[in-house]
Amino acid sequence: MENRIGTRPIIIAIDGPAASGKSTTAKIVAGKLGYTYIDTGAMYRSVTLRVLRSGLLDALRRDAGQVAGLLRDLTIEFRGDRVFLDGEDVSEAIRENLVSREVSFVSSLKPVRDRLLELQQSMGAARGVVMDGRDIGTVVFPDAELKIFLVADPRERARRRHAELAKKGGSATVPTVEELEEEIRQRDREDEQRTHAPLKRHPDAVVVDTSILTIEEQVAQVYGLAVKVLEG
Ligand code: CDP
């Protein structure tokens, strides 16, 4: 860890489509800088889990206003690598297929975005954070000193997600690369086309294409950009 004491802490916003390498990059860069990593996708996934458990998903498709009741006493916290929803460790549950399938719909709802926006802005208020998601540079922290837009070829992203799921093992059968590619493309479409805070590059964001980069290479690029900002 190279905690850059003496330099004013900054916000690093990393946005990009599904499985482009945001969380891996963000986590390592945050560790190197002594910053806090905030995975906003995990927050949207946590709300989705709450919706699924409530049995209200279909009702929300007809009347999104009903989501307000589910957001009222919501708490989401990060403790180290783990995410807690209302005090329960949901780190594994939020990665399940059903959550992945429904998260873009739940994330498109205005009351959900408003609530999480508030939470995310308070989590990053002291700066010294690396936050990844879809709208961090455009909506959550448009004043982030460094904005990155991470992209990669959809087939390559599907391969990475497949390898990640296969490595995790467990009882669930792993979808094929083709199935994952379809799911990723579908989620990208929904994230790009929604009305509220769609996935799009901020004009100041630096595009990093990770299609042919190793993790070490993409970390080195983002870390290098951060050091430049901190020393600049
Ligand atoms: O890791 P993966 O690429 O599968 O996605 P994620 O970062 O866990 O985010 C899951 C979903 O949450 C995205 O597909 C978006 O629909 C939503 N999301 C969002 O709307 N805004 C964010 N800032 C982060 C995630």
Spans of all domains in the chain: 11-227
What is residue 49's predicted lDDT score, i.e. its pLDDT? Answer: 98
4-43 pLDDT, tens digit per residue, is 545 789 999 999 999 999 999 999 999 999 999 999 999 9
Which amino acid makes up residue 13?
Answer: A
What's the mean pLDDT in 129-156?
97
Distance CA 12, CA 47 (A): 24
Q: Ligand 1 atom 6: the closest Cα is on which residue?
A: 41
Residue 187: pLDDT over 60: yes
What is residue 140's predicted lDDT score, i.e. its pLDDT? Answer: 98
Distance of CA 89 from the midpoint of ligand 1 (Å): 19
Q: How sure is the predictor about 232, in pLDDT bands with cuts at 50, 70 and 90? A: confident
Distance CA 193, CA 119 (A): 24
Residues 6+ apart with CB under 8 A from 85: 46, 49, 50, 74, 75, 76, 94
Q: Look at residue 144 and give its three-state secondary structure.
A: coil
CATH of 11-227, one of 3.80.10.10, 3.10.20.340, 3.20.20.70, 3.40.50.300: 3.40.50.300
Q: Ligand 1 atom 14: the closest Cα is on which residue?
A: 104
120-140 pLDDT, tens digit per residue, is 999 999 999 999 999 999 999
State the Cα angle at 44 between 51 and 66, rounded to 5°.
35
What is residue 71's predicted lDDT score, i.e. its pLDDT? Answer: 95
What is residue 113's predicted lDDT score, i.e. its pLDDT? Answer: 97
Phi, psi of 71 (to 5 degrees): -100, -15
Total count of residues recorded for the chain: 232
Point out the ligand 1 atom lying closest to the alpha carbon of residue 23. 1
62-113 pLDDT, tens digit per residue, is 999 999 999 999 999 999 889 999 999 999 999 998 999 999 999 999 999 9
Residues 6+ apart with CB under 8 A from 136: 13, 14, 15, 40, 120, 144, 147
